[in-house]
Amino acid sequence: MPLVTTTEMFKKAYEGHYAIGAFNINNMELVQAITDAAAALHSPVILQASAGARNYAKPPYLKHLVEAALEDHDLLVALHLDHGADFEACKDCIDNGFTSVMIDGSQYAFDENVALAKRVVEYAHAHGVVVEAELGQLAGIEDEVHVDAADASYTRPEEVEEFVSRTGVDSLAIAIGTSHGAYKFKPEQCTRNEQGVLVPPTLRFDILEEVSRRLPGFPIVLHGASSVVPAYVKIINDNGGKLKDAVGIPEEQLRKAASLSVCKINVDSDLRLALTAGIRQHMAEHPDHFDPRQYLKDGRQNVQELVAHKIKAVFGSENKA
């Protein structure tokens, strides 16, 4: 089956109260692990590539890896540009087979963000491609918890209707307290449970609910939504790694977001952790091995299990393809 856009995926996800996982790819093992898991569970899936991933793997390799996965599996896949920085980056992907692009103008003033998104939407829609944009900023979220004035980084619900109607975007990423990377919260922002594990502050579901009230039926996207799975952090740290106080978004909060208007949940850090944990554990257990196929196989297996778990137990997209 050819690549699809996210239009139908999001409509069904919204109505069915589940979300589609959007997984970052940058090499063959990740593409295989994600699509093997999605195919086995009959789940739709979004494969997304950042500018960094495109630089690393080179665009033709990524494109053909995705095509290979579609040849290998009968699978519902959208190919998405993650965090497109400008019109040219989006145009390049639109011209080269992507079915969805993000134009990330979240660091600009409202009117500038609108103008940029509108320009991308006009080009994308003329080519049958859908567009995600962002209002509010994830970066610097740590400070917000302590400083009320920094609330400005959260999405302002009163801006969303005007943004969507002026730009014509197909989905909107919002900032409700998620954050990119493996260190989403500082330890002092968290509490500790009886086992001494850091418990992060709860996401701002009030903002999500107000956004959905103002944009009924409109698909919302969560970036920075890795759970920073403690089991993988532990394997890494037990095998020579040093990831101190890594903390992510608890699964039950992602489940709740998926049951509301969140139709796309972005995951990159958890894939990195799962792959690295598999490789580190393999290296530690087999210091004599030096064939990449041996340790990459273990990393890939971890990623496949992680994606399967998210599809089944967190996002709820199993059997929705």
What residues between 213 and 252 interact with ligand G3H by CB under 6 A?
A: 223
How many helices (H) and strands (E) the chain has is answered by: 13, 10
Sign of the torsion formed by the C-alpha atoms of 188, 192, 198 and 201: negative
Asked if residue 282 binds Zn ion (CB under 5 A), the reply is: no
Q: Going residue by residue from 11 to 50, which x/- string records binding to ligand 13P, judged by CB under 6 A? A: -------------x--------------------------
Asked if residue 184 binds Zn ion (CB under 5 A), the reply is: no
Minimum distance, C-beta of residue 73 to Zn ion, in the bound complex (Å) = 26
Q: Is 134 annotated as a binding residue?
A: yes
92 catalytic per annotation: no
Query: What angle (nearest 5°) sits at the alpha carbon of residue 104, between those of residues 89 and 200?
Result: 135
Asked if residue 83 binds ligand G3H (CB under 6 A), the reply is: yes
Judged by CB, which is closer to ligand 13P: 131, or 162? 131
Considering only residues 59, 97, 181, 230, which one is a binding residue for ligand 13P as defined by CB under 6 A? 181
- Relative to beta strand 198-199, strand 191-192 is antiparallel
Q: How far apart are CA 174 and CA 222, in angstroms?
A: 6
* Cβ-proximal residues to 270 (8 Å cutoff; 6+ apart), any chain: 226, 227, 228, 229, 232, 248, 306, 310
Asked if residue 80 binds Zn ion (CB under 5 A), the reply is: no
Judged by CB, which is closer to ligand G3H: 116, or 225? 225
Say how many C-beta atoms besides its own lie within 10 A of residue 8's C-beta: 12
Asked if residue 267 binds ligand 13P (CB under 6 A), the reply is: yes
Q: Is 270 annotated as a binding residue?
A: no
Identify residue 275 by its one-letter amino acid code: L
Q: How far apart are CA 107 and CA 145, in angstroms?
A: 20
Asked if residue 166 binds ligand 13P (CB under 6 A), the reply is: no
Judged by CB, which is closer to Zn ion: 223, or 264? 223
Answer with the entry of Zn ion, ligand G3H, ligand 13P, none that 292 interacts with (C-beta below 5 to 8 A by kind): none
Answer with the entry of ligand 13P, Zn ion, ligand G3H, none that 32 interacts with (C-beta below 5 to 8 A by kind): none
7 burial level (CB within 10 Å; 0-12, 13-18, 19+): middle
State CA 110 to chain mean position distance: 23
Asked if residue 253 binds ligand 13P (CB under 6 A), the reply is: no
Judged by CB, which is closer to ligand G3H: 114, or 182? 182
Judged by CB, which is closer to ligand 13P: 26, or 32? 26
| Alpha-carbon torsion, ordered 306, 309, 311, 316, to 10 deg | -150
C-alpha count within 13 angstroms, C-beta hemisphere, residue 318: 12
Asked if residue 86 binds ligand G3H (CB under 6 A), the reply is: no
* Catalytic residue selected from 82, 170, 268, 298: 82
Q: How far is CA 303 from CA 1, 224, 258, in A?
A: 24, 18, 21
Considering only residues 268, 270, 274, 302, which one is a binding residue for ligand G3H as defined by CB under 6 A? 268
**Where do contacts with ligand 13P occur on this chain (CB under 6 A)?**
24, 82-83, 180-181, 223-226, 266-270
**Catalytic residue positions?**
82
Q: Annotated binding site, which residues?
A: 83, 104, 134, 180, 223
